Amino acid sequence: MKYFISKLTILVISLVFFNFITAQQKPEYVIVIHGGAGVITKKNMTPEKEAAYKQKLNEALETGQKMLKKGGTATETVIAVIKIMENSPLFNAGKGAVFTHDGKNELDASIMDGKTLNAGAVAGVTDVKNPITLAYAVMTKSKHVMLSSKGASQFAKEQGIEIVDPSYFYTENRWKSLQKVLENEKKAEKEKHGTVGCVVLDKYGNLAAGTSTGGMTNKQYGRIGDSPIIGAGTYADNATCAVSCTGHGEFFIRYVVAYSVSALMKYKGLSLQDAGNEIINKTLKDVGGEGGLISVDKDGNIAMPFNTPGMFRGYIKSTGEKEVLIYRD
Amino acid sequence: MKYFISKLTILVISLVFFNFITAQQKPEYVIVIHGGAGVITKKNMTPEKEAAYKQKLNEALETGQKMLKKGGTATETVIAVIKIMENSPLFNAGKGAVFTHDGKNELDASIMDGKTLNAGAVAGVTDVKNPITLAYAVMTKSKHVMLSSKGASQFAKEQGIEIVDPSYFYTENRWKSLQKVLENEKKAEKEKHGTVGCVVLDKYGNLAAGTSTGGMTNKQYGRIGDSPIIGAGTYADNATCAVSCTGHGEFFIRYVVAYSVSALMKYKGLSLQDAGNEIINKTLKDVGGEGGLISVDKDGNIAMPFNTPGMFRGYIKSTGEKEVLIYRD
């Protein structure tokens, strides 16, 4: 009996120690994704819809994981992961983009490389299948950071980026949403958020962030939200973290949310978790700025704060940890 | 003789004390302006041109001073001051806007109110006489922060903001610049910066910042620079400072320059002067990001750092201090 107890003690101690080591260990790579924050509750969801979202989020994470395992870079992984979500009608980005007031689809995207602090962004494109690939081309093939509307499309054509007929972005679901909003603008106020995003830490210690969106249902006047704005919707700096935001864009611009997380870490010494909480659950919550963000720091820590009922989100780490979540459990 | 020396001592002590008090005293109001940073040297300038610039900068400062003296607010002063510079062909903003590659004028502007952190911005408008007034209308009359191109013009018309025929922005000088750049794109690389900006502290302790630009000579693809981007070209927060930037916009976006000054003060405890120097003369200088900024903090301190040969700039304080400067001395 005594022998058995001492064996058990050794086993317990070993397990505790192993867990401690695992928890402390910096993962080789990390991917975090979001598919938008908002009034996403069990009530608004069918089991089929829920399964479809989870399946697509898993597919995006697993695709990214395969790339990173083989030595893929943070930026190329961000692009591949976001493309999967852009090509799905489930999310308000790419194929599933919502309609503007005039019944058009205007897409925005941005990407940032934390190693070089290079960045690229596009706003108001109507005929580019994957706006995230265009944002990457702006970053790598132009002298500029941000291109807009027809000029951005012209650049896409010159770069040989896949162009589609604007009708590609027609989905019945989004069209109905616009009609519903047009019938009663105020009632649908809460439905306006929707974005996809991805942040990555790769094997080389580099961070990258990307965000893509179809904008706001019923948006007018060439409105630009936070998604294509470096500092507001997207930021990455190897010295601190990579961040992608989703929510009521106007607040995210005014509070420079993505960059704020980095600044709180760099200048105030906060952890990733505390920095994200401060901006999402204090600053923005106090002023009614609805939304959330995903983030990963240079040590592979992650944080996914949001102040809405739900946020489509998930992460995967080289250590084997993985989760895909929708609601505020 | 002894009597005279003691009188003199008292006089000297009084003067030193008076200066000390004046220096310590928080001014009731402050205006700082810029008219762009770049390769502005005595060599490139004629005495007539220099006098014209100084006269216009003085006019802008004095107009603002009259308003603030009478109890005008920071935001309305920013607008009035920037309008004077927009209406002058001397600066790359409004009337004096440079031409795009296609021979058009596309204007950008933004404004931010440090009391409420409300902000408004427009990008790529072609027919609005004073983009800064449109940015203000976006801030106060729309649900959005940023509107672009035709949509922004449509909003301007609905708001009764002065529309002009695009030919209003034709100036021979700027047209010649475009032709010169088109002939030899590389040679003229250095000429591309140009912006106007204004930051104000008013009697009520409120800060505001505004920036307006005609963009980059020969710009293509609907390029958006830092001027219409809250956080990059413009930022104001009563808790810290008001900032307006000018320079190579792509760097100002990537380094979120205007907001960085605020973050360095708020989170790292730097002074306005040290924060501005850190970002302009260290961070940006190290990566070749040319430009400068103007700033005022909540206590009425000012800083106007720039890393280019010159920057059109000036300030006026309620205490009577006033300067208008062009070159580095």
Q: A25 pLDDT exceeds 90?
A: no
pLDDT of amino acid A186: 58
pLDDT of amino acid A173: 87
CA distance B255 to B322: 31
- What residues of B are in contact with residue A151 (Cβ under 8 Å)? 220-223
- What residues of B are in contact with residue A261 (Cβ under 8 Å)? none
Mutate: best of A256, A271, A287, partner B, most B CBs <10 A: A256
Q: A283: nearest CA in chain B?
A: B117
Token digits of residue A14: 């070993």
- Measure A47 CA to nearest chain B CA, in Å: 35
Count of residues making up chain B = 329
pLDDT digits (tens, 9 = 90+) for B272-319: 999 999 999 999 999 999 999 999 999 999 999 999 999 999 999 999
Q: Average pLDDT of A236-254?
A: 97
Q: Which residues contact B232 (CB under 8 A, 6 or more apart)?
A: A230, A231, B226, B245, B249, B252, B253, B256, B257, B258, B259
End-to-end CA gap in chain B = 42
Token digits of residue A55: 């399946």
Q: Average pLDDT of A226-233?
A: 98
Catalytic residue among B195, B211, B234, B308: B195
pLDDT of amino acid A329: 73
CA distance B218 to B185: 9
Domains assigned to chain B: 27-327 (3.60.20.30)
pLDDT of amino acid B173: 87
Q: Provide the mean pLDDT of chain A.
A: 92
pLDDT digits (tens, 9 = 90+) for A155-179: 999 999 999 999 999 999 889 888 8
Chain A residues 73-112 with CB within 8 Å of chain B: 112
Q: A272 pLDDT exceeds 90?
A: yes
CA distance B229 to B119: 10
Task: Tell me what ipTM this predicted complex has.
Answer: 0.91
- Are residues B117 and A254, on separate chains, in Cβ contact within 8 Å? yes
**Least CB–CB distance from B253: residue in A119, A147, A263:** A119
- Measure A265 CA to nearest chain B CA, in Å: 9
- What residues of A are in contact with residue B124 (Cβ under 8 Å)? 148-149
pLDDT of amino acid A130: 98
Burial of A234 from C-beta contacts in 10 A (0-12 / 13-18 / 19+): buried
pLDDT of amino acid B25: 77
Residues A153/A127, Cβ–Cβ less than 8 Å:
yes
- Measure B72 CA to nearest chain A CA, in Å: 24
- Measure B242 CA to nearest chain A CA, in Å: 13
- Are residues B147 and A229, on separate chains, in Cβ contact within 8 Å? no
Binning pLDDT at 50, 70 and 90, where does residue A8 land?
low
- Are residues B259 and A256, on separate chains, in Cβ contact within 8 Å? yes
- Measure B172 CA to nearest chain A CA, in Å: 25
DSSP-assigned letter for residue A98: P
**Least CB–CB distance from B145: residue in A231, A250, A260:** A250
- Measure B49 CA to nearest chain A CA, in Å: 31
pLDDT digits (tens, 9 = 90+) for A278-317: 999 999 999 999 999 999 999 999 999 999 999 999 999 9
Cβ of residue B215 closer than 8 Å to a chain A Cβ: no
What distance lies between CA B277 and its chain's CA centroid? Answer: 17
Nearest residue to A151 via CA among A133, A170, A126, A132: A126
Cβ of residue B147 closer than 8 Å to a chain A Cβ: yes
Residues A225/A215, Cβ–Cβ less than 8 Å:
yes
- What residues of A are in contact with residue B224 (Cβ under 8 Å)? 123, 146-148
- The fraction of chain A above a pLDDT of 70, given in percent, is 91
Q: A21 pLDDT exceeds 60?
A: no
Q: A265: nearest CA in chain B?
A: B267
**Least CB–CB distance from B221: residue in A117, A119, A154:** A154
Provide the H-helix boundaries in B159-219.
Answer: 172-183
pTM over 0.80: yes
Burial of B45 from C-beta contacts in 10 A (0-12 / 13-18 / 19+): middle
Cβ of residue B312 closer than 8 Å to a chain A Cβ: no
Instruction: Indicate the residue type of B213.
Output: T
pLDDT of amino acid B193: 65
DSSP-assigned letter for residue A163: B
pLDDT of amino acid B17: 58
**Least CB–CB distance from A151: residue in B146, B151, B223:** B223
Q: A121: nearest CA in chain B?
A: B224
- Measure B19 CA to nearest chain A CA, in Å: 35
- What residues of A are in contact with residue B117 (Cβ under 8 Å)? 254-255, 287
- Examine the residue annotation and report whether A63 is marked as an active-site residue of this protein: no
pLDDT digits (tens, 9 = 90+) for A113-154: 999 999 999 999 999 999 999 999 999 999 999 999 999 999
Mean pLDDT by 10 residues, chain B (329 residues): 66 60 77 94 92 98 98 98 97 94 94 98 97 98 96 96 94 88 66 84 98 91 96 98 97 98 98 98 97 98 97 97 94
pLDDT digits (tens, 9 = 90+) for A73-120: 999 999 999 999 999 999 999 999 999 988 999 999 999 999 999 999
pLDDT of amino acid A319: 95
- What residues of A are in contact with residue B123 (Cβ under 8 Å)? 148, 224
Mutate: best of B150, B154, B224, partner A, most A CBs <10 A: B224
Helix axes B74-86, B47-69, angle to 10 degrees: 160
pLDDT of amino acid B226: 97
Residues B310/B41, Cβ–Cβ less than 8 Å:
yes
CB contacts < 8 A, A to B, total 131
Q: In what order do the strands lie in the sheet with A322-327?
A: A146-148, A118-125, A107-113, A207-213, A196-201, A30-38, A310-317, A322-327
Catalytic residue among A75, A77, A195, A246: A195
Cβ of residue B263 closer than 8 Å to a chain A Cβ: yes
Chain B residues 105-134 with CB within 8 Å of chain A: 112, 117-119, 123-124
Count of residues making up chain A = 329
- Are residues A222 and B264, on separate chains, in Cβ contact within 8 Å? no
pLDDT of amino acid B182: 85
Cβ of residue A268 closer than 8 Å to a chain B Cβ: yes
pLDDT of amino acid B185: 67
CA dihedral sign of residues B98, B102, A165, A211: negative
